[in-house]
Structure 1
Amino acid sequence: MQSQALAFLLGVLVLHSLPHLPTLAWVVVCLAVPLFYRFMPLARWPAIALLGFSWALLHTHLVAGPWLPAGLSGQDMTLIGVVDSLPEALDRGVRFGFRVEGRADGMYDPDERLPRRVRVAWYGQSPDMVPGERWQLTLRLRRPTGFRNPGGFDYEGWLFRQGYGATAYVREPDSALRLGMDDRPIHRLHRLRADLVERMGQGLDGRPYAGILRALAVGDRSGIAPEQWTTLIDTGTNHLMAISGLHVGLMAGMGYGLMLWGWRRVPALALRLPAQRAAVIGALICAAGYAALAGFAVPTQRALAMLVVALGALWLGRVARPGRTLALALLVVLGLDPRAVLDAGFWLSFAAVGVILYAMTGRLQRPGGIRAVLRIQWVAGVGLLPLTLVMFQHGSLVSPLANLVAVPWVSVVVVPLTLGGVLLAPLIPWAAQWCWLAAHLAVSLLWPLLEHMGSWPWSLWRAAPPFWTLWPALLGLALILAPRALPARWLGVLLLLPMLWPARPSLQPGEFRLTVLDVGQGLATVVQTRDHTLVYDTGPRFSPRFDAGSAAVVPYLRHEGRGRVDRLVVSHGDNDHIGGAPAILDSLRVGEVLSRSPERLPHALSRECLRGETWQWDGVTFRMLHPPPGWGDDNESSCVLHVSGPGGSVLLPGDVERLGEAVLVRGEGEGLSADVLLLPHHGSRTSSSEALLDRVSPRLALVSTGFENRLGHPHEETLERLRVRGIPLLDPAHEGALRVDFVPGEGVIVQPGHRHAARRHWHR
């Protein structure tokens, strides 16, 4: 069973690792699978892998549904559909899932292939959106798109996992029509969850940990503040804030114990059905009810599937081998949704169970009581460290200790009080409020301890280790966690060293690397030398909870193993250049800050950038060419940086336009020459003049714009000036993060954009 489940998993992984999705015709290959068993017994495992591949392909085409065709992206369309998720409050509006039923005009185009689900934002004053309501909305549709940067969050992949085929925002809000209510069970469930969220909001009245209690009650984590997430991640306790295996298992245990206790006290019932079987039913009811509160999210589906397999063996009176039970649960999860392999929680949950089973079973002397609890926390914390380092470039060495305190406190105190309030809310509202207030008090008592542990220097951020190091690390863990009688267990530590060994510098003296990150309509670039890092502009701040600094720049630097920014240069004070700076200053060690408005960036070493400043790092020369003293803080006053080394040079001109370009051309002359030019002001019509292009004479131009941006950048006149001079142009909006290496003796080497180099079939 174990090998069959792994073969099926391999087939699913192969499908979801492809850069392009095969046509549905490939599913026909499944019809030949039974022939393999009859005529080629040795091909049994490839046949099962082929079955997994075909099921994942069929599911993607028929269940996940189509994505918005490129021709409809950016178009307005009036659609009829149903709100099918909990509305999520935005800073200036609301966001919700919208299941499309059709076009309002009734027109049908067989080639149109509208997506089945759309993630809709309604900005401004919006009505109260209720799950299950049918609406007619005029939407500006857009293909699923997100930033594509090394180490960054794959938003397009998340949309694919959630079944969204497009994103949109409401146009013409006054024309929106509420058409009635859809009373299907799933929508009634979402309305119940929305009602609970509203009741909890009223009962907790804006208290700081209300978002955490909401996450534990209904699986809605949108209310958890970013700084709270940071504490949870640094202590390795973030898994507690999702309704997942731990909480579903806890509820199943409570249901099992209560049903067993009550059933045995009624002899007539015990004669009809054994108490143990009745307890299994009680466990399933409690677990399924708790999973329903989370809207049957992917983690709860996974936990519930594993629980059903284990309780099924208990119902049948069979003592199933743990490995067989885990393999069967794996097949059930993949059968329900093969997209689960794209979720990090899938790997962490199965790995945690597998590691604990390996370390706790098959021993002559099993630890009991507090020793068992301590060993489970140590095993889970250490056993998952290699996986978290590979997947997140992060591992918390304080995790076992933090979880030793947090898991029992949250499981025994916080969750029961929170769910007690959920059960009492429709019956005794005042009692429910007291339960939630008590749960909030419990979290507030735990939180200072977690913050203190999170401040310890045991939260390990490092560059992503090579994938091959995972295999010796897993073997090393198997030795470390093996029974004590096994000789030479210490060799396991040596097998962990390739993963934990500090990465060698990837650049040589005189060499430098320019990376233009994909941050939408804005600019964020990183210049790396052998031992130094400079960040030039930080991208925009989109909302109080989301900015390019935390979403793109910080993850990229951590992915590269750069935990310190030696110099942060902010060209000027526009949001699309300075918006991500606070997140960088909060998350990383920053040596010095240069900007046009140093008072806006609180840092001990903040000062103005001025023409004439020069410095050298590792054989690479940096020169500030603009502005002269006395200029303000606008586009024309942007800090202009020239970087040069033996392998080539690049000019970073910020947002200078005609006046600034004229001053540069007149003042610098031949000093403006560069192999690579980052187009000023995102390639607008009022920048990249003929005089500047002729003076710089670049072999390559780069520009940072937003995909399908409303400003029309880069402008057609700018593109024409580049075409006349034969200068090729690359844009992160289409290529993903762009990396250019300047190598002595080899010159300028342009790497494939991250959107192409790391492409999967769900990417735009």
Structure 2
Amino acid sequence: MAWKLSFCAGVGSLLLLPALFAANTLAAIGVVSVLLYLWAFSRSRRWPYKALLLCACFALGSAYAQWQAQLQLERRLPETLDGFEYVIEGRVHGIVARSEGQQFGALRRKQQFDFHLHALRLLNQAAGSTAASNAPSNVVGLKRLRLSYYGVQRFESGQQWRMVVRLRSPRGWVNPGGFDLAKHALGRRIHAYGYVRESHPVLQLAPADSMSLRLARHRVLQPLIASLQYGPILNALLLGDKSALSDAQRTLFIETGTAHLMAISGLHIATAATAGALLAKSLLWMLPRLLLFVSVPTAVASGAVPAAVFYAALSGFAISTQRALVMLLCAAAAMLLHRRSSPWSVLCTAATGLLLFDPLALLGGGFWLSFFAVAVLLLAAHGANNRPITVQKKPVFLTWIKLLFSAQCALLFGMPLIQLALGLPLAMVAPLANLLAVPIVSFWVIPAGLAGLLASYLHNGMASALLALADKGLLLVMHCLAYLQQTPLANWRIEGELAGVSMLVAMLAAVVLLACRKGPLVPLAALLWMVLFAMPLLNLRGGGQLARGDISLWQFDVGQGTAVLVQTAQGNWLFDTGGTFGFGRDAGSSTLVPALRHMGIAALDAVILSHADSDHTGGAESLGSAIDVGQWYTGGSAVRVLPAGVHAKPCKEGVAWRRDGVAFYFLNNGAGGQSENNASCVLMIRSMSPPVASSLDATNAARLHRSAGSVLLTGDIELDSEVDLLPLGRRALAATVLMAPHHGSKTSSTASFLDVVKPGVALFSNGYRNRYAHPHAAVLARYRARDIQILRSDYHGAIRLDFKAGRWRAPHCARPARRHFWVYRQRPIRCGCQLSKFPPSGCNPQADGGGL
């Protein structure tokens, strides 16, 4: 088992690498590792040779994983080819997700699907040429795309099509607690995202494969499921199609920690395997003469494996089912070969087999959650009986309840470790919700649903009755979850992180609690575990606290939009809420809420909506429903985007407040006759803390005193508003940090305005390759000419600036800080330098991102 663990550790080292080794280096490591393994294996079994054996396995695992990752990165669409249009041919793979929603003010239908590429050429090149001769050399390797379509054609799994698409790289946004799109795409082997161009013909080349098991069942079951109250959930459970789940249902599952039950996973594969094993044992009971030809373990394995494979095939062999299937096949192989293997050995064999088949599976959280959950249960079983968990020959109802309760308690102490390590939210109501929902789903919904699925091959009436029975079980589950969602316990969530010593101590405490049922260490371990997990819950994490007069500024990466968080010692304010993307998605739910919860922020003192443009107010509604907001301020006509009953104050000149030694006040008049952009709120934030200027001469010290610790947030103001602000003068407008007006459009950031404000750094909030070409080249030239540092969300990701103890600290940029091999970087990007000097000598804007 040791060599398996060493190989898995080598594959796991892939997550720690900032860059991959060269292909020649990997080949050399692989050859040397194999030779070293063969030499050490042929020698004595003494510990020096065993150590060499383990080192060879580790190196071989690392080289193999890097080779596989390198193959996928070479196929990935480069950033330099974003936005090109291609004529592609290929096949639709998997279930097509369909949805309806508002986009650009109209109701539209959307289809999303994976597309396996057969041929590709640039749109305006000769149609008779091959893809390889026309496409750029670094695009030929594209194999799998994730496409969206908004037209009237209906796509089905297995169909072959020719269409024109516009592609983009799987780059994603980078925010604290945010979703890593590049990592997700690499783990799923998606090489590019794109959408079908409706202005060009979409031609079907071949119909769907009639032999597709999943597609055939999908077509048969849809009429039967459509009339059921929870048909979309049954669709997700039986076929892995979650596209029809409503936003309310998704939110309910997430907030109660039961999302894993509503997708085909290891629990459901185990349920199907158990049903097959029971069927095989029933056959032996009815025909005892079969025992003359086959043993009971062989019969059980022969019944469990086909049932599990059939169920996994219905889900399209999703990644979550692959893990459970490999585990089951390893256990079944041991039974068929009559080998007595410990559960730990089976678990290691399953992990090794899965990583050999797909080493990139470890990039997804599901891999770690699945294997960690099984390890926790095995450790708890060892602590209970000093032997693996075994089911009694004639189990009674109370025995099953006891087993389920014990398993849930074990997961309660073990699973928070891996969830927080992966940055996943931890719902405190989840243990109780799972204790109620898991038995109903496992022993009622899944068996009835599978029976209905099998009955659909024989008689639709019988299938409809069985599916209705499964729907009744889901009705009970949903009522229980809805009740728990309304309890005060549902509001308690752990969104923080445990790292370093805290994680190590928590892990040791969990091992003691699971493996030991008695002893003097158990009470101490329980106390340590509760204290460590109460720290993020009560927001008691150390480090990073602000003192009176300190300011922490976050510009989030929300694409072509704006969202800026301002923090003081005891307060939090948000300036704008990003944009809306249609189909129920917006920056509030996808970026701001996860980021705020990750930072331990449960409430905001105020939210300022600078004006009514959707790229500044799109996330307001979802943010307000998830985060408590003390006060709303609105500029222009932004008040109309707020929900009914929400009171807002206008952000006009004279509105001001102070908190923790920091002053906030609006500078603009917001005249109703102005354009919406020019009616944007302009907010000045100024620290009352005296600046540190010991190293500056008298002239620079005076300039620093007027502008140090000051931030000017400008919204989308343009030339007219900038001219209106100029009479306020240098004393009112001076700021160290300036939000570039209107994302850096050519109608803003005039020379006279920059000369009065004299910022040390400018923040640009832009979408990557946005259609407005923001920021404009002439505007960037003005900032560079004045030696102003330029920080851009499209290149730097989320940006944090801290003013502490009278001094601006060096900026922190999320994208350059992510030192992973899968992160997109066109070229090395530095974040910035110290901001407390005027001018920032020694800080070349071209070298620090100003030239981007």
Band of TM-score, shorter chain: over 0.9
User: 1:745, CA displacement in angstroms?
Assistant: 3.2
Within the candidate set 448, 453, 461, 2:494 is matched to 461
Residues 317 and 107 (structure 1), Cα distance of their counterparts in 2 relative to 1, 3 Å cut: closer
Residues 714 and 64 (structure 1), Cα distance of their counterparts in 2 relative to 1, 3 Å cut: closer
Within the candidate set 430, 433, 440, 2:464 is matched to 433
Matched residue, 2:720: 659
Matched residue, 1:22: 21
Within the candidate set 188, 202, 220, 1:176 is matched to 202
Structure 1 counterpart SS, 2:193: strand
The whole-number CA distance in structure 2 between the counterparts of 1:240 and 1:746 is: 50
The whole-number CA distance in structure 2 between the counterparts of 1:364 and 1:296 is: 35
User: 1:207, CA displacement in angstroms?
Assistant: 5.9
Matches within 5 A, 1:155-194: 155-181=181-207, 183=209, 188-189=211-212, 192-194=213-215
Within the candidate set 759, 776, 797, 1:736 is matched to 797
Deviations 1:71-118 (A, max 9, x none): 322111112211122211143321111111122531425554331111
1:83 matched to 2:92: yes
Instruction: Report if the CA contact (8 A) 1:699-1:727 is conserved.
Output: yes
Instruction: Report if the CA contact (8 A) 1:464-1:560 is conserved.
Output: no
Matched residue, 2:302: 281
The whole-number CA distance in structure 1 between the counterparts of 2:235 and 2:768 is: 35
1:442 matched to 2:473: yes
Instruction: Report if the CA contact (8 A) 2:33-2:56 is conserved.
Output: yes
Within the candidate set 142, 150, 156, 2:168 is matched to 142
Instruction: Report if the CA contact (8 A) 2:665-2:683 is conserved.
Output: yes
User: 1:153, CA displacement in angstroms?
Assistant: 1.0
Matched residue, 2:578: 539
**Misfit runs of 4+, over 6 Å:** none
The whole-number CA distance in structure 2 between the counterparts of 1:214 and 1:639 is: 47
Q: For 2:641, give the aligned amino acid.
A: R
Matched residue, 2:837: none
The worse-fitting range, judged by mean Cα deviation, of 59-68 and 280-289 is 59-68
Q: For 2:433, give the aligned amino acid.
A: A
Normalised TM-score (structure 1): 0.94
Q: For 2:119, give the aligned amino acid.
A: G
Residues 437 and 664 (structure 1), Cα distance of their counterparts in 2 relative to 1, 3 Å cut: farther
User: 1:540, CA displacement in angstroms?
Assistant: 0.9
Normalised TM-score (structure 2): 0.85
The worse-fitting range, judged by mean Cα deviation, of 548-557 and 412-421 is 412-421
Structure 2 counterpart SS, 1:481: helix
Deviations 1:640-678 (A, max 9, x none): 111121352111111111222222223455311111111
Residues 662 and 326 (structure 1), Cα distance of their counterparts in 2 relative to 1, 3 Å cut: same
The whole-number CA distance in structure 2 between the counterparts of 1:325 and 1:623 is: 64
The whole-number CA distance in structure 2 between the counterparts of 1:274 and 1:498 is: 50
The worse-fitting range, judged by mean Cα deviation, of 339-348 and 621-630 is 621-630
The whole-number CA distance in structure 1 between the counterparts of 2:318 and 2:25 is: 30
Deviations 1:620-652 (A, max 9, x none): 111111234646782111111111213521111
The worse-fitting range, judged by mean Cα deviation, of 657-666 and 144-153 is 657-666
The whole-number CA distance in structure 2 between the counterparts of 1:677 and 1:478 is: 51
Please, what is the CA RMSD of the aligned residues? 2.3
Aligned residue pairs total: 756
Matched residue, 1:750: 811
Q: For 2:8, give the aligned amino acid.
A: L
User: 1:251, CA displacement in angstroms?
Assistant: 0.5
The whole-number CA distance in structure 1 between the counterparts of 2:287 and 2:199 is: 60
Matched residue, 2:110: 93
> For structure 2, which runs of at least 5 residues remain unmatched after alignment?
41-47, 101-108, 122-128, 390-397, 690-707, 825-852
The worse-fitting range, judged by mean Cα deviation, of 357-366 and 14-23 is 357-366
Matched residue, 1:252: 273
How many percent identity over aligned positions? 35
User: 1:199, CA displacement in angstroms?
Assistant: 4.6
1:351 matched to 2:351: no
Structure 2 counterpart SS, 1:392: coil
The whole-number CA distance in structure 1 between the counterparts of 2:823 and 2:595 is: 19
Instruction: Report if the CA contact (8 A) 2:566-2:573 is conserved.
Output: yes
Q: For 1:488, give the aligned amino acid.
A: L
Q: For 1:94, give the aligned amino acid.
A: Q
User: 1:275, CA displacement in angstroms?
Assistant: 4.2
Q: For 2:505, give the aligned amino acid.
A: P
Instruction: Report if the CA contact (8 A) 2:588-2:618 is conserved.
Output: yes
Instruction: Report if the CA contact (8 A) 2:272-2:304 is conserved.
Output: yes
Structure 2 counterpart SS, 1:634: coil
Deviations 1:174-215 (A, max 9, x none): 4222222575xxx943xx434544554433437663321111
Within the candidate set 64, 70, 83, 1:61 is matched to 70
Matched residue, 2:835: none
Deviations 1:735-756 (A, max 9, x none): 11111112233225311x2111
Matched residue, 1:452: 483
Matched residue, 2:681: 639
Matched residue, 2:333: 312
Within the candidate set 529, 539, 546, 1:507 is matched to 546
The whole-number CA distance in structure 2 between the counterparts of 1:494 and 1:45 is: 37
Matches within 5 A, 1:100-249: 100-103=117-120, 105-109=129-133, 110-125=137-152, 127-181=153-207, 183=209, 188-189=211-212, 192-205=213-226, 209-249=230-270
Residues 207 and 714 (structure 1), Cα distance of their counterparts in 2 relative to 1, 3 Å cut: farther
Matched residue, 2:733: 672
The whole-number CA distance in structure 1 between the counterparts of 2:528 and 2:508 is: 7
Instruction: Report if the CA contact (8 A) 1:200-1:436 is conserved.
Output: no
The whole-number CA distance in structure 2 between the counterparts of 1:668 and 1:413 is: 73
Residues 281 and 258 (structure 1), Cα distance of their counterparts in 2 relative to 1, 3 Å cut: same
User: 1:483, CA displacement in angstroms?
Assistant: 3.2
Matches within 5 A, 1:447-526: 447-458=478-489, 459-496=492-529, 497-501=531-535, 502-504=540-542, 506-526=545-565
User: 1:594, CA displacement in angstroms?
Assistant: 0.9
> For structure 1, which runs of at least 5 residues remain unmatched after alignment?
none
Residues 654 and 268 (structure 1), Cα distance of their counterparts in 2 relative to 1, 3 Å cut: same
The whole-number CA distance in structure 1 between the counterparts of 2:718 and 2:14 is: 48
Residues 662 and 123 (structure 1), Cα distance of their counterparts in 2 relative to 1, 3 Å cut: same
Residues 692 and 194 (structure 1), Cα distance of their counterparts in 2 relative to 1, 3 Å cut: farther
The worse-fitting range, judged by mean Cα deviation, of 385-394 and 718-727 is 385-394
User: 1:119, CA displacement in angstroms?
Assistant: 0.9
Q: For 1:670, give the aligned amino acid.
A: R
Structure 1 counterpart SS, 2:521: coil
1:723 matched to 2:784: yes
1:687 matched to 2:748: yes
Residues 396 and 210 (structure 1), Cα distance of their counterparts in 2 relative to 1, 3 Å cut: same
Residues 468 and 488 (structure 1), Cα distance of their counterparts in 2 relative to 1, 3 Å cut: closer
Q: For 2:351, give the aligned amino acid.
A: L
The whole-number CA distance in structure 2 between the counterparts of 1:592 and 1:213 is: 42
User: 1:7, CA displacement in angstroms?
Assistant: 2.1
